Structure 1
Amino acid sequence: MNETEQISQTAHEIQARIQQLSDLSGTNLKNEMDDLKLCLLKNPAACELLLPEDIGLAVAAIKKILGHSIALATVEKPTRGRKPAVQLKLDPNEILLDE
């Protein structure tokens, strides 16, 4: 197998991995994106063969990860509930004086 065929094969493998990203979620998606990042860094020549659609799918997966992270960060944390303050009303006519 010559170098051009090997690069083409790697590009097809990367495309397949990118297409599988839409089926993943949560930590599986993050781990797979980390693996894909390493694969892309090791094979810059194969990156040149990626189609715009493949890059769009990868961007969609990144947005999904960011959306999930933002949602987790903005979840309101439960606070300790306090009992409502009791309003005390004193009527001067009801006060008994000890005499």
Structure 2
Amino acid sequence: MKKKSIVTNTYLLQSDKEDNKGFGYVQGVSYLPDYDTKIKVYIRDDKFEIESDIHNMQLLTLNAYELESINKAIQFIDNSLKTLISLAHRNLLKDEAFIEEEE
């Protein structure tokens, strides 16, 4: 069965102003017909520590700039999803705005 969704752009997460490669990405998805939304945060493997001080957990240590980068990206994506959902409810999105994927 195919599932229809709306997907935002993918945004680069940066470690500092000079970081053109980034340490990850953030993307938003809203699944129709209920418009259930998910924000996907992709982080490069090398950002995770080899050992964690808590059992069954991975440790990710961020500097203030990295944390702010994630925060800004999530806020931007949340607003983008709200806008896209509002447009979809009013039938103002073209068919090309929707993606069909297998469940």
Q: Which has the larger radius of gyration?
A: 1
Q: Decide which structure has greater strand share.
A: 2
Query: Above 0.5 in TM-score?
Result: no
